[in-house]
Amino acid sequence: MGPASPSCRRRRRLPTLLLLLSTVMAVSMAEGAAKHHKAGHHFVQHVAEDFLFFDHYAKTCPKMESIVHNRVSYWVKQDPTLGPALLRLHFHDCAVKGCDASILLNHPGSERAAKASQSLRGFQVIDDIKAEVERQCPGVVSCADILTAAARDATVKIGGPFWDVQYGRKDGLVSLAKDAETVPMGKESITDLIEFFQARGMNLLDLVILSGAHTIGRSTCGSVQHRVYNFTGTGKPDPSVNGKYLNYLRRKCRWASEYVQLDATTPTKFDGAYYGNLERQMGLLSTDQLLHSDSRTSPVVATLVSQPYLFYQQFAVSMVNLGNVQVLTGDDEGEIRSNCNFVNKHKSH
């Protein structure tokens, strides 16, 4: 009998890899749950699968997904940077009070007005989609569902995987700037990140995989200047940064308002190179590089480096998990906004 084919060898390795990931996840979740319970933190987590459905708009707005697909395709073709921007906008929405489109509300003191949200982009894409959806089926499709679907289609447009989205989310009625300041900004510890994800019903694997969204897109230099020029107040650079990469960042990031690619090697390609960059000490944000050095996350990073196809597969799973965070379903919890920027008048607070 001849040697096994590469695909066969991958199938044989897969159970072992998944066992490794599951073991790391279980240990981390146990540690995080104990710390979270001790801290007295609570984040009510609905079981989204109980009330979200793939065919939610099959009769009431059958063209909804095609509208989202066509408009996202149009906008990303005009400006490819809107692909990762929509992905990030979705994360910032779900990471605060859940996937309720609260990040889209545009008023003084809203999440959108927070300092942490000033670099967010893609709002015009969602407004465009919502306007077309309202023309086709007014008062039916929530902004939260539109943003979730747009993030999926944007991911596909930039070379990422496709996944089916369940629908039925309602739009939130409250948006506070102070809540947006809780979203991770690249300087947190791994413990903080693990607890942040677990409080929202996600796990360590979701953390490592969704961090891999940094395979594409860009960051403001203001997010990394502390690593380049004054790490922990020492007046010196972060010693964990690769020397050649440090020199590049020093040239690139003289001004905080400048932009730098999140992935230094394949910045326009959705792939697993992000994790290889971490091994070479070329993670842009502190939280990126810490995934490689922390004992809880480093085995997952190593696995994704050796088996990069797992990232592509798992990214779809973790994005489903993200899209199901703390969704609103009842009329007493939310509404279907007629304009994503504003709460409907009859429910304005």
Token reading at 151 = 């993030």
Q: Which of 92, 226, 292, 346 is catalytic?
A: 92
Residue 184 assigned as binding residue = yes
Residue 214 assigned as binding residue = yes
Residue 164 assigned as binding residue = no
**Structural domain contains residue 143:** yes
**Structural domain contains residue 115:** yes
**Helices in 98-199 by DSSP H: which ranges?**
123-136, 143-157, 177-180, 190-198
Residue 266 assigned as binding residue = yes
Residue 100 assigned as binding residue = yes
> Which has the closest alpha carbon to 175: 90, 245, 231, 104?
104
For residue 51, the model assigns a pLDDT of 83
| Residues 327, 179 share a domain | yes
| Residues 206, 153 share a domain | no
Full residue range of the structural domain in which residue 166 is found: 52-183+323-341
92 among known catalytic residues: yes
Query: What pTM did the predictor assign?
Result: 0.86
**Structural domain contains residue 267:** yes
CB atoms within 10 A of CB 222: 14
| Residues 173, 212 share a domain | no
Residue 234 assigned as binding residue = no
**Structural domain contains residue 11:** no
Q: What is the CATH number of the domain that holds 89?
A: 1.10.520.10
Are the beta carbons of 178 and 114 closer than 8 angstroms?
Answer: yes
The one-digit pLDDT tens for each residue of the chain (349 residues) are 444 444 444 444 444 445 555 545 454 444 444 444 433 333 334 455 568 999 999 999 999 999 999 999 999 999 999 999 999 999 999 999 999 999 999 999 999 999 999 999 999 999 999 999 999 999 999 999 999 999 999 999 999 999 999 999 999 999 999 999 999 988 899 999 999 999 999 999 999 999 999 999 999 999 999 999 999 899 999 999 999 999 999 999 999 999 999 999 999 999 999 999 999 999 999 999 999 999 999 999 999 999 988 999 999 999 999 999 999 987 778 999 999 999 998 654 4
Q: 339 in helix, strand or coil?
A: strand
| Residues 117, 65 share a domain | yes
For residue 48, the model assigns a pLDDT of 59
